Amino acid sequence: MRAIITNEDVGTTIDFRSAGIYQAQHPWPKATVVSAGRGLVFVRNAKPGEPKSYGTLFIEVYPPGAAFIRGEGVSAEECENAAWAKYQLALHCTDGSGTHDWEPRDYHNGAGFCSRCKTFGSKVFTGEQLGQFCKTCQIGTTYHWDTDANGNLEYLCEEHVPPRPERTLSELLSELFDDDADASPAAPAHSLDTTTKEA
Ligand SMILES: [Zn+2]
Ligand SMILES: [Zn+2]
């Protein structure tokens, strides 16, 4: 396995950060990229009375043959077992053909979920496939979308998204050399990762 940030070979060691070091129990392929820790999950479309967020241990893996797999649980082992079960589903879903049955659900950025094994993949749809065309030049795009005054979605390609205001060099430098900046590499060990997931 490789750590997601450093890309360094970590063998079977998974660093759950504030929750400690854990040895993987399942035979993940060597090329698997992994990230783990404790995170806060925002629940989209939470039903009334249900919490809109919760904290959990998680593991995220990018094994060969599957795009992105996340497992959650109360222990590191539970996280790994959940991810491994999804991985096995994904492997058997494709029948070795490498083809999932992608559906975009409500994503506009080209990502999708497999209807059979629920694997998540980024960049599995083009703008054309999604029927999203730049309102300026009409090319298919997954780059930018917004809601117009009538509540309809409109799309812009990378070239036609209005540029954000440029920061001046002095603003940039003051950000880089902010007095607080030298404290930032040692972020608190209990800092939360922020991810979202389907309700
Ligand atoms: Zn699938
Ligand atoms: Zn355009």
CA of 82 to the centre of ligand 1 (A): 16
What is the average per-residue pLDDT within 24-36? 94
Q: How far apart are CA 196 and CA 102, in angstroms?
A: 20
Q: What is the pLDDT of residue 82?
A: 96
Residue 121 Cα, ligand 1 centroid: separation in angstroms? 10
Taking the centre of ligand 2 as the mean of its atom positions, its distance from the CA of residue 148, in whole angstroms, is: 16
Which residue has better confidence, 34 or 181? 34
* Average pLDDT taken over every residue of the chain: 85
pLDDT tops 90 at residue 12: yes
Flag whether 156 is in a domain.
no
What pLDDT was estimated at residue 80? 98
Q: Is 66 among the domain residues?
A: yes
CA of 86 to the centre of ligand 1 (A): 10
Give the range of the structural domain holding residue 58, as residue numbers without chain letter.
Answer: 2-99
What is the number of structural domains in the chain? 1
Backbone angles phi, psi at 146, to 5 degrees: -155, 165
Q: How far is the CA of 106 from the centre of ligand 2 (A)?
A: 22
pLDDT level of residue 190 (50, 70, 90 thresholds): very low
Torsion angles phi and psi, residue 181, rounded to 5:
-60, -35
Confirm whether 180 is domain-assigned. no
- Contact of 16 with 71, CB cutoff 8 Å: no
Query: Which ligand lies nearest the alpha carbon of 65?
Result: 1
Residue 197 CA to ligand 1 center (angstroms) comes to: 18
Ligand nearest to the CA of 92: 1
In a domain, 154, yes or no: no
Confidence band for 174, pLDDT divided at 50, 70 and 90:
confident
- Asked whether residue 70 is domain-assigned, the answer is yes
Please name which ligand lies nearest the alpha carbon of 143: 2
Instruction: Identify whether 77 is part of a domain.
Output: yes
Q: Which two tokens stand for residue 55?
A: 């904290």
Using only C-alpha atoms, what is the Rg of the chain? 20
Question: What's the pLDDT tens digit per position in 137-149?
Answer: 999 999 999 999 9
Give the pLDDT confidence of 41-97 residue by residue, as tens digits: 998 888 999 999 999 999 999 988 777 899 999 999 999 999 999 898 888 886 666
Answer whether residue 14 is part of any domain: yes
Neighbours of ion ligand 2 (CB under 5 A): 134, 136-137, 157, 160
Structure confidence at residue 37 as a pLDDT band (50, 70, 90): very high
> Is the overall model pTM greater than 0.85, yes or no?
no
Is 186 inside a domain boundary? no
Give the number of the ligand closest to the Cα of residue 134.
Answer: 2
Q: Distance from the CA of 172 to the center of ligand 2, in angstroms?
A: 29
Phi, psi of 136 (to 5 degrees): -90, -50
